[in-house]
Amino acid sequence: MRSFKHRLLMAFPYSLLMFLSSCLGINSDIKNRPAATMSNVKSTTSIYSIKVNTLDGQPFDLSTLKGKKILIVNTASKCGYTPQYEELQELHKLHGDSLAVLGFPCNDFGGQESGTESEIGAFCTKNYGVTFQMFQKVHVKGNEQHPLYKWLTDPALNGWNKDAPGWNFCKYLISEDGELLNYFGSGVKPMSQTMLDAIKK
């Protein structure tokens, strides 16, 4: 059964959702872990070795992003948080020299990303002018969990974190040398001061 929070996400416009979230405290379970509070344990495998494909099916070598921070986001086209695409694009435009924003469409939550890759690409371009790198649709949980999200959510692989996405638009920040720095829940906006501070560290 879907939680009260998740039913709200599907039922209300984004602006109203944010107001209700504030009043009802439904974002209290969002976890934001600043780098200063993390263990110094290193990951046991490299994120750069994981195979991913772009939205048009082309292999993408994550190792080409060494030297940049990476922000990994599980996205959806019909979610209360979908307007975050706009801030993700702004983040990409402002900090693209030092930060790579990577979007991974996902249909695991509320069936809110049921379209094909071509439909997803058209939606992102038409509605939000997305130019940051988008990838093929993946599963972020369950038996078909993509290896990237296995790495992001298994402490034995990434060194410390076990938090999996609880909904669409959860965010993982990776350091310039491939270490997982932070997990941010859906309610942490891409252009929030919390996010900007983490990116600048």
**CATH number of the domain that residue 164 is part of:** 3.40.30.10
130 lies in some domain: yes
pLDDT tens string 148-200: 999 999 999 998 999 999 999 999 999 999 999 999 999 999 999 999 999 99
Taking each helix axis as running N to C, give the angle between helix 84-95 and helix 117-128, from 0 to 180 degrees, rounded to the nearest 10. 80
23 lies in some domain: no
For residue 133, give the H/E element and its range. Answer: strand 133-134
Catalytic entry in 79, 106, 124, 170: 79
10 lies in some domain: no
Percent of the chain with pLDDT over 90: 76
pLDDT at 29: 40
Largest Cα–Cα distance in the chain? 44
184 lies in some domain: yes
3 lies in some domain: no
pLDDT at 142 over 80: yes
117 lies in some domain: yes
Instruction: Please tell me the total count of domains within the chain.
Output: 1
At 126 the three-state DSSP class reads helix
pLDDT tens string 103-126: 999 999 999 999 999 999 999 999
14 lies in some domain: no
Q: What is the pTM of this model?
A: 0.83
CA distances from 186 to 10, 14, 17 (A): 14, 12, 12
Catalytic (active site) residue 79: yes
Token digits of residue 128 = 């939000």
What domain range is 76 assigned to?
28-200
